[in-house]
Structure 1
Amino acid sequence: MNTPGGYDWSRLQPVVGEFARVSIPFELRPNPKAGKPFFRPGVLPRISLGLAAGVVAVGAALQLGLIHSRGTNLSPRAAGYALGFMILVVLWLLREAYFQEAVVRVDATTLTYRILPGIARRIPRAAIAGVVLRRVDTSTSFAAGQESKRLFLIGSDGRCIFRINAEHFEYLDGYHLAAALAVPIDPAWDFAVSRASLSMEIPGTVLWPERHVTALAIVGTLLVIAVGSVVMTLLQGPAR
């Protein structure tokens, strides 16, 4: 049976055998060893969102102090290097926080996805009809050949009701999640599909920003150039 959105329900298959052996409550966490590396994961014993936010605040305060302080000899290039280093450190801390805190939890009635403390989404299990795995072609005009693994939950109408980036999950994780939810799975991470075809197959899987990546990239680049120009003007001002 196909839904008006185009999803072929015959692709779903039940989870059986070893893959079906899970217990409730069930927890699934991203694996830092899967996916693309970013420095070395798992270095810090525990990172919280508060610590990452604190680093952002301290870094921003330092940058503002360097920009607005009088008599500084800091060159625009040095300020740019300092800002770039701070951004890399913050990204690394947030990545560590994600691996420490992110979890998909399934209990008797609800699926809960927590990204970081205080940031969580809950979905009633009764609303979930299946687990769908897709590898999506995320290439843009600026970066060709890019692909991303996605995990979707679909409702009885064939529409997407939940989606996550699954770069740090494996096939076994998808099967275990489907078993915990007691729903079938459509595993297809072996080949990539375009955003357009995925959106037609399962409505709701592709968000508006993903359909306008090039335009948003251009706007973002212009904003960065504008902000950089303002920062350089402020830095060069006291030296005159």
Structure 2
Amino acid sequence: MATTLEILKSPLLSGVTHGFFTRRGGASSGIYQGLNCGFGSQDQREVVALNRARVAEAMDVAPEAMVGVNQIHSADVAVIESVPETLVTADALVTRVPGLLLTVLTADCQPVLFADREAGVIGAAHAGWKGALNGVLEATLDAMEGLGARRAQTVAIIGPCISQRVYEVGEEFMDNFLMEDDAYGRFFAGGPGGKPMFDLPSFGLHRLREAGVGAAEWIGRCTYSDPAKFYSYRRATHLGEADYGRLISAIRL
């Protein structure tokens, strides 16, 4: 069953079980066609559960070992020592417990997977523009260090997310960044209509590297531009669709 799934991986995380899942190989239909893993969508709950079970199988864990968070675009990080009884509200998770599958859901935002193999500590973060600006990536590294990781030997991979060529924003959006640091202007370019275009993955990489991570890369896939492989909140909005699916990214020791 899980063999039909498409899982993107990074050589930088070789030796660590991880994957950025595309929408291919799932049981959902209609606008959710494929591997919709978001219980927050209006998709049928039992179908989402089936999709998530396929992900668990592909990662070689029981579905009960999957841990996610209630994502709110914050910089909050949950330290996971066992599967929580209720969903924790945060935008990143870290653990040093083998067998727990850390997951985040996205549909244009950055999913970021972290690992310090030597220390045996991993993390996963949901980093949209707001979370990245508020420091969720740095907070994830801090929390990993609290578990014994060293950021200089930690690898961070940004999965499929929206790319600059399709991410038109307003002047007010850009001002949020410039008020923080004038140098952030380099992550914006002029679009065809004169509006700024924001480079989310480059901004994420910048924040990670400034924070002292050992290695970081973007997997180079745009969610908006490839409807066959990825869900996209912005694309669904532009098409006037009532809802959208959620992609899942996962990592475990």
TM-score by length of 1: 0.26
Larger Rg: 1
TM-score by length of 2: 0.25
Structure with bigger helix share is 1
Structure possessing the higher relative contact order (Cα contacts under 8 Å, 6 or more residues apart): 1
